[in-house]
């Protein structure tokens, strides 16, 4: 059961924030948007977020759930503002399995999260090239900022027309890593 700490960002605010972030390059207020929603980390990238209708497992092709990224135990109420989040979950996805998903389903690489019953998939600006694949590693990596509550998260394939996220079976999460201690090359969302 996911942990929740009372007051937190409601889904309508998350949805509105994602829509505004999607317009970032077209608004004269883009610097202000980056100040609030962005991050101090040089590893920060802005994904374009879409609502997900279904999550399916790659091998089973059955409905699936995303693995849990644990809440930051030190998060304060101020972490409602994304920029003030200090820790991240490092997501891992088996690189052979992810490449097979992308090839077999003609999917786009994406990072997805589930929170309060809603799931969103974030398309990366440079696609697979935004993910980290460290030397001698079997996993693509990306990091997502954590706040006051647990949430589901994974790297996988996104089928935009069907609004389906395909979750690899080979996933991992390294919990509560300080953002300033992220491994070099791991993108932060």
What tens digit of pLDDT does each residue of 66-89 get? 999 999 999 888 777 777 888 999
Query: Is residue 45 predicted with pLDDT exceeding 70?
Result: yes
Domains of the chain: which residue ranges? 11-181
pLDDT digits (tens, 9 = 90+) for 122-149: 999 899 999 998 877 889 999 999 998 9
DSSP 53: S
Residue 44: predicted pLDDT: 83
Rounded Cα–Cα distance for residues 45 and 39 (Å)? 9
Left if phi > 0, otherwise alpha if psi is -120 to 50, otherwise beta: which for 145?
Answer: beta
> Across residues 75-104, what is the average pLDDT?
89
What is the share, in percent, of the chain residues with pLDDT greater than 70?
79
Residue 114 has pLDDT above 50, yes or no: yes
Strands 68-69 and 48-51: unpaired
Q: What is the mean pLDDT of the chain?
A: 85
Distance between CA 178 and CA 158 in Å, rounded?
Answer: 28
| DSSP single-letter state for residue 88 | E
DSSP three-state, residue 180: helix
Strand 54-57 relative to strand 164-167: parallel, antiparallel, unpaired?
Answer: parallel
């Amino acid at each position: 059961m996911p942990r929740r700490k009372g007051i937190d960002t409601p889904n309508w605010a998350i949805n509105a924030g994602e829509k505004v972030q999607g317009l970032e390059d077209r608004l004269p207020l883009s610097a202000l948007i980056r100040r609030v929603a962005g991050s101090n980390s040089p590893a920060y990238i802005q994904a374009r977020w879409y609502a997900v209708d279904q999550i399916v497992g790659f091998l089973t092709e059955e409905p699936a759930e995303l693995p849990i990224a644990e809440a930051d135990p030190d998060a304060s109420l101020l972490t409602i503002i994304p920029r003030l989040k200090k820790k991240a979950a490092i997501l891992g996805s088996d690189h052979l399995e992810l490449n097979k998903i992308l090839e077999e389903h003609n999917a786009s690489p994406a990072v997805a999260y589930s929170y309060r019953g809603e799931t969103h998939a974030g398309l990366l600006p440079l696609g697979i090239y935004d993910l980290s694949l460290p030397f001698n590693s079997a996993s693509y990596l990306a990091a997502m900022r954590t706040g006051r509550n647990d949430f589901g998260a994974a790297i996988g394939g996104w089928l935009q027309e069907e609004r389906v996220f395909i979750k690899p079976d080979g996933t991992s999460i390294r919990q509560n890593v300080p953002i300033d201690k992220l491994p070099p090359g791991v993108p932060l969302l």
